[in-house]
A and B are shown apart, each in its own frame.
Chain A
Amino acid sequence: MANIEPAVVCSQLVRLYGERRALDGIDLTLGQGRTLVVFGPNGAGKTTLLRVLATLLRPSDGEASLLGSDLRKEGWKVRSKIGFLGHQSLCYGDLTARENLSYHARLHGLAEPAKRIEALLDQTGLSGRGDERVFGYSRGMLQRLAICRAVLHEPQVLLLDEPRSNLDPAAIELVEPLIGAGGGRTRVIASHDPAGGLAEADLVLGLRDGAAVLLAPPAQVTADQIGELYR
């Protein structure tokens, strides 16, 4: 049975952009090794929630903690334990895939990153083009590289914003061992895929205009309820 100590706790979490409440009083608790899937239309606050949990944005009010560390005061403690996959690859176009991963490995203080980098490139089918500059990559290749970057330091918590976008079915299979449920990591996933999201969720959060309008285990949520969020 998975450890159910909370990995993510949000209590009345608020994030403001100017006067707009991008997150409006979110309450949730997610156990370690569990997967939270966040649904909601564009602008609902999914990406903002992920960025707050990734320590890229500070909560404006309320509390957010990750692996027991208060993100407002102790974000630095958990950065090495977070793998973040956003809409951008966070890789430089004029560097090769190997150089990009090597750069991020050094920033994470990995002792011997070469083997890990080669293993990841091999696993994602990029090793043959690992010495090419990234600006020539297709969107799918870039997404695979971004996944390599996100899991490079073997984080305990994965924050994934539409992780399978731009990937073909074969590529989705390739990256599954890295970001799938099998890894035993705690995951927070923003998704627009009701069926796929419900299948991998331990907890479902529905956001609309920054507020949590749905928070329940997947067994208690129907695809229609997810669809309702988008209407």
Chain B
Amino acid sequence: MSAARPPSTLTAARAVLYKELTLERRAPQTLTAMALFCASAFVIFHFALGRDELEGALASGVLWVTLTLAALLGIGRSFVADREEGGLDGFLLAPAPRTALLIAKATTLFIFLLIVGLLAALLFSVLLLGPTPSASQWASLALVIVLASLGIALVGSLIAGIAIQTRARDLITSILALPLLIPLLIAVTKASAPLLGLGAGTLAGRWLALLGLYDLIFGLLAYALFDYLVED
């Protein structure tokens, strides 16, 4: 008989994460959809605004509206395979800590958001951005994208966990996620605006601190609530 004892949270999270990344590698649907959405949105903004180049607050707004809506695509798809193929039941039947699913889902979403965020920022700088950011501004923008991706991944996984138990999943995702993401969106647009403007704009520490605090609060909330969301 194979020796078995309940896996640790980390072991189970690694198993789910490996499965998630393998599924995306085999059938790259989520990343493709998110990246295509960003590219399409930038083209639309380019023509709709009637401007070849954006800067400052407007540039920041266009970049983050696009990334937020792309993130909703990723959040909406994060439990699709589990729902359609019974994978959630498969996980719940195992003696694995439920938190492992949250960690794996949030990590997967974080990786996707990070990839799409960095690619979108590069594409945005080529297609729409007027000023050319300096190396330090790029590094600061990357830090904002990392913190924003973390916050969106945590909130998104929590919302996806709620939505999978309902019939109106797609609706629930948008209705719950967007209001919860508003504090984060205010912080990222404010933090990004000086980095995308003319001159040597720098990252404001208070917006960075707000982002960090947001990530911490929603990380703790997700950790505390997730078990109750996925269990019947």
User: Would you call A103 and B15 a contact (CB within 8 A)?
Assistant: yes
Q: Which residues of B contact A110 (CB under 8 A)?
A: 2-4
User: Would you call A92 and B87 a contact (CB within 8 A)?
Assistant: yes
B32 at the interface (CB under 8 A from A): no
User: Would you call A153 and B2 a contact (CB within 8 A)?
Assistant: yes
- The dominant DSSP class at the A interface is loop
User: Would you call A116 and B23 a contact (CB within 8 A)?
Assistant: no
Chain A residue nearest in CB terms to B3: A111
A59 to chain B, nearest CB (A): 10
Q: Which B residues fall within an 8 A CB radius of A?
A: 1-7, 11-12, 14-16, 18-19, 22-23, 26-27, 81, 85-87, 89-96, 231-232
Q: Which residues of A contact B16 (CB under 8 A)?
A: 107
- The dominant DSSP class at the B interface is helix
Known A-B contacts A93-B85, A133-B26; the reply to A113 vs B94 at CB < 8 A is: no
User: Would you call B27 and A94 a contact (CB within 8 A)?
Assistant: yes
Residue from A99, A104, A112, A116 within 8 A of B94 (CB atoms): A104
Residue from A86, A90, A92, A107 within 8 A of B96 (CB atoms): A107
User: Would you call B22 and A95 a contact (CB within 8 A)?
Assistant: yes
User: Would you call B2 and A112 a contact (CB within 8 A)?
Assistant: yes
Binds B, one of A1-9, A74-82, A180-188, A207-215: A74-82
Size band of the interface chain A makes with B = 35 or more
Binary contact track A181-200/B, C-beta < 8 Å → 1, others 0: 00000000000000000000
A76→B7 CA distance, assembly (Å): 12
A213 to chain B, nearest CB (A): 26
The interface centre, meaning the residue of A93, A109, A113 with most chain B CB atoms within 10 A of its CB, is A109
A79→B90 CA distance, assembly (Å): 11
Chain A residue nearest in CB terms to B15: A106
User: Would you call B22 and A111 a contact (CB within 8 A)?
Assistant: no
Q: Which of A115-144 contact B (CB under 8 A)?
A: 115-116, 133
30 example contacts (A-B, Cβ-Cβ < 8 A) are as follows A55-B93, A56-B89, A57-B232, A79-B95, A80-B4, A88-B85, A88-B89, A91-B85, A91-B90, A92-B23, A94-B22, A94-B23, A94-B26, A95-B19, A103-B15, A103-B18, A107-B15, A107-B94, A107-B95, A108-B4, A108-B7, A109-B6, A109-B95, A110-B3, A110-B4, A111-B3, A112-B3, A149-B90, A153-B4, A154-B4
